[in-house]
Structure 1
Amino acid sequence: MASLSEWIEGARPRTLPNAVAPVVAGVGAAIALDGFSWWRSVLALLVSLSLIVGVNYANDYSDGIRGTDENRVGPLRLVGSGVAAPKAVLTAALISLGLAGVLGLVLVAVSGRWWLLAMGAVCILGAWFYTGGKKPYGYYGFGEIAVFVFFGLAGVLGTVYVQAGRVSWAALACAVAVGCFSTAVLTANNLRDIPTDIEAGKRTLATRLGDKGTRRLYLALVAIPYVISLWFIFTGFPTTLALVTICLLFPAARAVRGGKTGRELIPALRDTGLAMLAWALFTAIGLNI
Structure 2
Amino acid sequence: MELQTNQEHNIKEQSSWKVWWALTRPHTLTAAFVPVFIGTALALPYTNINSSLFIIMLLACLIIQAATNMINEYYDFKRGLDHEGSVGIGGAIVRHGIQPKTVITLAFFLFGIATILGVYICMQTSWWLAIIGTICMAAGYFYTGGPVPIAYTPFGEMVAGLFMGNIIILLSYYVQTSTITVESVLISMPISILVGAILLANNIRDLDGDKENGRKTLAILVGRKRAIMVLAGMFIVSYLWVIVLIGLKIASPWLLLVLLSIPKPIQATKGFIGKTIPLQMMPAMKATAQTNTIFGLLLSIGLVLAYFI
Under TM normalisation by the shorter chain, which class is it?
over 0.9
Distance apart, 1:194 and its partner CA: 0.6
Distance apart, 1:165 and its partner CA: 1.1
- Aligned partner of 2:255 in structure 1 is 239
Distance apart, 1:199 and its partner CA: 1.1
CA contact (8 A) 1:60 1:80 kept: no
- Aligned partner of 1:173 in structure 2 is 186
Q: Deviations over 1:197-250 (max 9, x none)?
A: 111112222222221221122111122221122124322612221111112333
Cα distance 1:217–1:85, how it changes in 2: closer, same or farther (>3 A)? same
Greater mean alpha carbon deviation, residues 130-139 or residues 264-273: 264-273
Greater mean alpha carbon deviation, residues 26-35 or residues 72-81: 72-81
Task: Quote the RMSD (CA, aligned, Å).
Answer: 1.8
> Residue type of the partner of 2:284?
A
**Larger RCO: Structure 1 or Structure 2 (Cα < 8 Å, ≥ 6 residues apart)?**
1
- Aligned partner of 1:266 in structure 2 is 282
> Residue type of the partner of 2:261?
T
- Aligned partner of 2:52 in structure 1 is 39
Is 1:252 aligned with 2:235?
no
> Residue type of the partner of 1:94?
F
- Separation (CA, whole Å) in 2 of partners of 1:20 and 1:242: 17
- Aligned partner of 1:286 in structure 2 is 302
- Aligned partner of 1:137 in structure 2 is 150
Number of aligned residue pairs: 288
| TM-score using structure 1 length | 0.93
Greater mean alpha carbon deviation, residues 190-199 or residues 242-251: 242-251
Equivalent in 44, 49, 67 of residue 54 of structure 1: 67
**Secondary structure of 1:39 counterpart:** helix
- Separation (CA, whole Å) in 2 of partners of 1:201 and 1:78: 24
Is 1:107 aligned with 2:127?
no
Greater mean alpha carbon deviation, residues 189-198 or residues 219-228: 219-228
Cα distance 1:21–1:207, how it changes in 2: closer, same or farther (>3 A)? same
- Aligned partner of 2:131 in structure 1 is 118
Q: Deviations over 1:240-284 (max 9, x none)?
A: 211111123332121134546411222223222222222222222
> Residue type of the partner of 1:239?
L
Show the 5 A alignment for 1:21-36: 21-36=34-49
Distance apart, 1:139 and its partner CA: 1.6
Cα distance 1:224–1:35, how it changes in 2: closer, same or farther (>3 A)? farther
- Aligned partner of 1:90 in structure 2 is 104
Cα distance 1:212–1:243, how it changes in 2: closer, same or farther (>3 A)? same
Cα distance 1:265–1:35, how it changes in 2: closer, same or farther (>3 A)? farther
Question: Which stretches of structure 1, 4 residues or more, deviate above 6 A after TM superposition?
Answer: none
| TM-score using structure 2 length | 0.87
- Separation (CA, whole Å) in 2 of partners of 1:172 and 1:256: 31
Distance apart, 1:131 and its partner CA: 1.1
Greater Rg by CA: 2
- Separation (CA, whole Å) in 1 of partners of 2:115 and 2:218: 29
- Separation (CA, whole Å) in 2 of partners of 1:140 and 1:225: 23
- Separation (CA, whole Å) in 2 of partners of 1:183 and 1:277: 13
- Separation (CA, whole Å) in 2 of partners of 1:261 and 1:188: 13
> Residue type of the partner of 1:92?
L
> Residue type of the partner of 1:247?
P
Unpaired runs of at least 5, structure 1: none
Unpaired runs of at least 5, structure 2: 1-10
Distance apart, 1:14 and its partner CA: 0.8
